[in-house]
Amino acid sequence: MGEDTDTRKINHSFLRDHSYVTEADIISTVEFNHTGELLATGDKGGRVVIFQREPESKNAPHSQGEYDVYSTFQSHEPEFDYLKSLEIEEKINKIKWLPQQNAAHSLLSTNDKTIKLWKITERDKRPEGYNLKDEEGKLKDLSTVTSLQVPVLKPMDLMVEVSPRRVFANGHTYHINSISVNSDCETYMSADDLRINLWHLAITDRSFNIVDIKPANMEDLTEVITASEFHPHHCNLFVYSSSKGSLRLCDMRAAALCDKHSKLFEEPEDPSNRSFFSEIISSVSDVKFSRSGRYMLTRDYLTVKVWDLNMEARPVETYQVGAAASKSRSPSERVTRFFPAPPPSASVIMTGAYNNFFRMFDRNTKRDVTLEASRESSKPRAVLKPRRVCVGGKRRRDDISVDSLDFTKKILHTAWHPAENIIAIAATNNLYIFQDKVNSEMH
């Protein structure tokens, strides 16, 4: 079946020029930190790789703030739940950066069951001249010590140290799909398929359940939680999306258990659009607040929608992501979770699609462009050429026909720099970083 086919394709794709892809290298999440200086990626093998933006230097004008590897560490290992005889995957589902409060950086990373808080520190000085220890650290023979010296700090090569500071375990029965740090910088929430828990960043042995949609009888299950996020400014508000396509805004001041929503955002289904797979394509794969907190961005199978928090009846904007005529298309992944990226200026929306394409929508001009993230189609520092997917009949030279779209190559994870027009696109095991050199790139 699908996933297995993908695995087999990936494991057996022995290609030249280092294109051999191991499953563990598949990037599963991408996240910029709050300044955009650091970019963290998580992969299926449980590793986190952090990239740092190089400061622009006059000596090398071409390397205008490019990203280089800063640190790599193993965040999660595969585990085994003996009670249920289940293996727990080490794949990193989400990474969220904490706001920086001192010289160190902190991030939360989670797999299906356990959330970990990692602290990233730099060390570029080393004390030398100890009285009791020699250079290798061995204790000196005291009889050889004739005078006292004050140890001095000498510069050394930069060393990045990463250490796990907290492990938030055993909070979830189902698979964790999202985490979100509160604007109060003290609490965060983690959501699995049926429940959402509230944690304090300093307390690991306790968490509070704030949403529980598990039915008394599991056979009555019709809906699961697909994503959730705290409001960027109001520490009492959060939203969660469901597989039925609805968004629920909850206020933690109203009750300890927020099963009753404060607002329900749902677009009524157009009966004429009803199809065999209606329920599946309406499932929301991700929800994000805009930076202002006034709007929400959601992604379902075929569209990206912008919702105004003040209007529950329907989205204010809808953008079609798939090829124009969905009838002639054969989608092969139904629960593909595309994660849209809210941009700093809130005027352009980006989301991933199939065939390593990603789409950008300009909300002001209503124009959109399809771009491709692949080694073959773009050289480093070259300007991306827009791609066109044609449906049926007329086909221009460089067009891709909808039937030749590769549905195993999907861009699920994208991230936008918080301040500049820099985007990070994860395509299978490759990370692409694009910068906007000229403002009029959208055409």
Partner 1 sequence: MEFKLEAHRIVSISLGKIYNSRVQRGGIKLHKNLLVSLVLRSARQVYLSDPCPGLYLAGPSGIPAAALPPPPQPGEPAAGEEEEEEEEEEEEMETGNVANLISIFGSSFSGLLRKSPGGGREEAEGEESGAEAAEPGQICCDKPVLRDINPWSTAIVAF
Q: Residues in the site for partner 1, rule: CB under 8 A?
A: 1-6, 81, 84, 86-89, 91, 112, 174-175, 177, 193-194, 217-224, 226, 243, 271, 274-277, 279-280, 283, 327-335, 407-408
Q: Shortest gap between Cβ of 108 and partner 1 (angstroms)?
A: 20
Nearer Cβ to partner 1 (241/290): 241
Q: Shortest gap between Cβ of 111 and partner 1 (angstroms)?
A: 9
Rounded Cα gap, residues 87 and 46, in angstroms: 14
Residue spans of alpha helices (H) in 198-306 = 278-281
Q: Shortest gap between Cβ of 220 and partner 1 (angstroms)?
A: 5
Nearer Cβ to partner 1 (122/266): 266
Q: Can you read off the two tokens belonging to residue 239?
A: 């939203």
Nearer Cβ to partner 1 (177/187): 177
Q: CB–CB of 156/126 below 8 Å? A: yes
The residue behind tokens 């009670």 is: 83
Q: Are strands 303-308 and 295-299 parallel, antiparallel or unpaired?
A: antiparallel
Nearer Cβ to partner 1 (333/420): 333
Q: Can you read off the two tokens belonging to residue 417?
A: 């720099």
Q: Shortest gap between Cβ of 173 and partner 1 (angstroms)?
A: 10
Nearer Cβ to partner 1 (135/276): 276
Q: Are strands 187-191 and 67-74 parallel, antiparallel or unpaired?
A: unpaired
- Give 50-58 contacts, CB < 8 A, sequence gap 24+: 50/120, 51/431
Q: Shortest gap between Cβ of 278 and partner 1 (angstroms)?
A: 8
Q: Shortest gap between Cβ of 282 and partner 1 (angstroms)?
A: 10
Nearer Cβ to partner 1 (55/271): 271
Q: What is the number of residues in the chain? A: 443
Of 172, 281, 286, 306, which Cα lies nearest the Cα of 227? 286
Q: Shortest gap between Cβ of 190 and partner 1 (angstroms)?
A: 16
DSSP 408: T
Nearer Cβ to partner 1 (88/442): 88
Mind spelling out the 3-state secondary structure of 134-189?
CCCCCECCHHHCCCCCCCEEEEEEEEEEEEEEEEECCCCCCCCCEEEECCCCCEEE
